[in-house]
Amino acid sequence: MKIAVLGTGTVGTALAGGLSAAGHDVKVGSRTAGEGKVTFAEAAEFGELAFNCTAGAGALDAVGSAAAELEGKVLVDVSNPLEFHDDGPPTLFVANDDSLGERIQRALPGARVVKALNTMNADVMVNPSLVPGDHVAFVCGDDDAAKTTVTGLLGELGWPAGRVIDLGGISAARGTEAYLLIWLRLMGAMGGAHFNIAVQR
Ligand SMILES: NC(=O)c1ccc[n+]([C@@H]2O[C@H](COP(=O)([O-])OP(=O)(O)OC[C@H]3O[C@@H](n4cnc5c(N)ncnc54)[C@H](OP(=O)(O)O)[C@@H]3O)[C@@H](O)[C@H]2O)c1
């Protein structure tokens, strides 16, 4: 599949590598083209499906600059609404009764937004075996067919369907984004980022 990866940071680099290794044709989008990168809009135009891997504070600008090109396409939103501070850990700039995933879906009503993979470190996204056990990935979004497509792609990255939990509509992004408040503390407590959620019942 032709896939756009919007974002050149740790996540964009990891997902571009993992998706390419799985046999997909990937174009990486950035604010400025050059050095193997194209603009967000050019990447989105190329992709049949796109991943948003941009900084939370810039995500609406990034996907907004490619709104026309993302029309009708699945947009996998991996971003988190983190606001960084000189003193103290990051906070969320949207939470409780709204989320960045919902803001992106409202800003791009023609795109089929699926929130996924934002609850884990980039290495784990593309190499789940870095963490032992049946730990999970979440998807949420308003378009069931889009979630099925994304679950299939996750399978190619090493996440069997039985370890992908569908949390419902895009408003469930409120929960997966707010989890970052715990994730950030866990990273400190665990002394690293290679951990993930396993759900037992
Ligand atoms: N790092 C992780 O392991 C991890 C895990 C889960 C979720 N996330 C989330 O995934 C996203 C990407 O994280 P990251 O660590 O890979 O890198 P990042 O530094 O958060 O984001 C880098 C990307 O954001 C773009 N960007 C930054 N400011 C922008 C703005 N004002 N307008 C438009 N685009 C802007 C950059 O564009 P240029 O290419 O032009 O520089 C770059 O492509 C974030 O939302 C993060 O919270 C990260």
Does 196 contact ligand 1 (Cβ within 6 A)?
no
pLDDT tens sequence across 87-96: 999 999 999 9
For the residues 127-133, what does the mean pLDDT come to?
Answer: 98
Does 10 contact ligand 1 (Cβ within 6 A)?
yes
Q: What phi and psi values does residue 107 have, to the nearest 5 degrees?
A: -70, -30
Q: Which stretches does DSSP call E strand in 7-128?
A: 25-30, 38-39, 49-52, 74-77, 82-83, 91-92, 112-116
| Run of H or E including 4 | strand 2-6
Does 83 contact ligand 1 (Cβ within 6 A)?
no
Q: How far is the CA of 180 from the centre of ligand 1 (A)?
A: 15
Does 55 contact ligand 1 (Cβ within 6 A)?
yes
Q: How far is the CA of 10 from the centre of ligand 1 (A)?
A: 8
pLDDT tens sequence across 4-61: 999 999 999 999 999 999 999 999 999 999 888 899 999 999 999 999 999 999 999 9
- Which atom of ligand 1 is found nearest the CA of 10? 16
Contacts of 164-169 with C-beta under 8 Å, sequence gap 24+, read: 164/136, 164/137, 164/138, 164/139, 165/136, 165/137, 165/138, 165/139, 165/199, 166/138, 166/139, 166/140, 167/138, 167/139, 167/140, 168/140, 169/140, 169/141, 169/142
Residue nearest to atom 28 of ligand 1 (CA): 58
Q: What is the pTM of this model?
A: 0.98
